Structure 1
Amino acid sequence: MSEALVKQLGEIFEDSLVACEKAHGEVTIEVSKDDLLEICRTLHNHDELAFEQLIDVTVVDYLTYGQDEWATTEATGAGFSRGREDYHPVKQTWQRERFAVVYHLLSIAHNRRLRVKCFLKENRPTLPSVLDIWASANWYEREAFDLFGILFAGHPDLRRIMTDYGFVGHPFRKDFPLIGNVELRFDAKQNRCVYEPVSIEPRVLVPRVIRKHKDETVYVAAPEQGGRDG
């Protein structure tokens, strides 16, 4: 089914797609910012495609791609690669735009799914809203704006939806501090909630590896700060 969809998309859109590939049993197409609305309308309205539902809108921030301690080309889901004696982290450099907005589509008529990916630059990342095509985009685009700072031109009510109205920054961006910038508490004397500078200190989240050479046993301990004894 995936191969048939790839062929069908190629015939319908021809050179309009930046990329079209199959991975993990699903198809992903990449489109340019300028072609997004036209391609989305076709995906929704074309009888042979009929992607009637927008399941979700997600965002990927590639700011630290290849720099994380766990992000290596040799890592697997079978265990902690850091515990191996021959572990050598592989640093990669991201060469493309920082953000990718991903639309997850479902065709009930044809029982298949599709991902639509569109890359955006870091400076004022803006896309046209697809709200007129899929009504469910309303809250999804607000979430993407709130958590990642993606702007959707033409959205009638682009307000924060997850964080407070006075919140500063976008908490799902890779450069946003894990401990936040401010903390909120209720002040009994003032009888209201007040914002104050963060009082906690950053903690180490990556487990500490302790190697015991006898019997080649490897132990993975909890983080040094704020973790349980490992």
Structure 2
Amino acid sequence: MSKLILERLKAQFGDDILAVSSFRGDDVAVVKPSRWLDVARFVHDDPRCDCTYFVDLSAIDNCDPRTDELDMDDRFEVYVIAYSVAKKHRVRLKTRLSGDEPRIASVIPVWSGANWMEREVFDMFGVHFEGHPDERRILTYDEFKGHPLRKDYPANRTQPLVEYRDGTFNKLGPFLQDEGMPLNRSVLPDERQ
């Protein structure tokens, strides 16, 4: 069913869709980095695609650390998986990025649920998401050097020790007063502070 999405993408974006493949229900479109956000918006907004449910976003480092020279061409792949609940099909959009400081447009304007996953990809791989509202580390501390899921990251690398941080922390959205409550329990108005 989602081969329809691949056909729609090829018809809409032409040569900006570099490759398509389909295997056992996994339909993949490889997109030019410059059209990443446009293609994401299209599969979300187009009524025949209707991929409004954000599933996943991550990255892959394709370099071979056993070689002396790191091949920076198409070193990183960033992918997003989206699903249509109404039409029961899904698609994976991939793009390839080069260089030591790869950059790609953020898909948060399309799927707000990509926020923390983009932060994780930034933290672990060093991929910068242009337009991200809060691009900072999410799994490692601020003083951490490097990006540990890059294949050229030394396994025996030591990190700087940091002072213990004491004090209060400001909670950022989306946390509310009923944070940590079971999902099936509503906070009653008289229980709010």
SS, match of residue 104 in structure 2: strand
What residue in structure 2 maps to residue 101 of structure 1?
Answer: 78
Post-superposition CA distance 1:189-219 (Å, at most 9, x none): xxx55xxxxxxxxxxxxxxxxxxxxxxxxxx
Among 159, 164, 173, the residue aligned to 1:182? 159
Distance 1:59 1:128 in 2: 14
Distance 2:79 2:17 in 1: 14
Deviations, residues 71-123 of structure 1 (Å, cap 9, x unaligned):
xxxxxxxxxxxxxxxxxxxxxx9795100101111111111111100100023
Find the aligned partners of 1:169 and 1:183 in 2 and give their Cα distance.
Answer: 12
Percent sequence identity over aligned pairs: 33
SS of 1:130's equivalent in the other structure is coil
- Kindly report which structure 2 residues correspond to 1:68-147, keeping only aligned pairs within 5 A, or say none: 96-147=73-124
How far has the Cα of 1:2 moved from its partner? Answer: 4.6
Matched, 1:54 2:31: no
| Bigger fraction of residues in helix | 2
The structure with more radius of gyration: 1
- SS of 2:112 mapped into structure 1: coil
TM-score between both structures, scaled by the size of structure 2: 0.75
Quote the offset at 1:178 in angstroms: 2.3
CA distance in 2 between partners of 1:182 and 1:3 (Å): 47
Alpha-carbon offset, residue 3 of structure 1: 4.1
Q: Distance in 2 between matches of 1:2 and 1:107?
A: 9
Q: 1:117 to 1:125 in 2, by over 3 A?
A: same
Query: 1:180/1:24 Cα in 2 relative to 1: closer, same or farther (>3 Å)?
Result: farther
Asked if the contact 2:72–2:98 (Cα under 8 Å) also holds between the matched residues in 1, the reply is no
CA drift of 1:38 comes to: 1.1
CA distance in 1, matches of 2:45, 2:34: 19
Quote the Cα distance in structure 2 between the aligned partners of 1:145 and 1:95: 17
The gaps in structure 1 that reach 5 residues or longer are: 69-92, 186-191, 194-230
SS for the counterpart of 1:42 is: helix
Structure 2 residue aligned with 1:37: 37
Structure richer in strand, relative to its length: 1
Partner residue in 2 for 1:19: 19
CA distance in 2, matches of 1:144, 1:29: 20
CA distance in structure 2 between the partners assigned to 1:166 and 1:143 by the alignment: 16
The TM-score with structure 1 as length reference comes to 0.64
CA shift in 2, pair 1:138/1:95, >3 Å: closer
Number of aligned pairs?
Answer: 162
Quote how far apart the aligned CAs of 1:7 are: 3.2
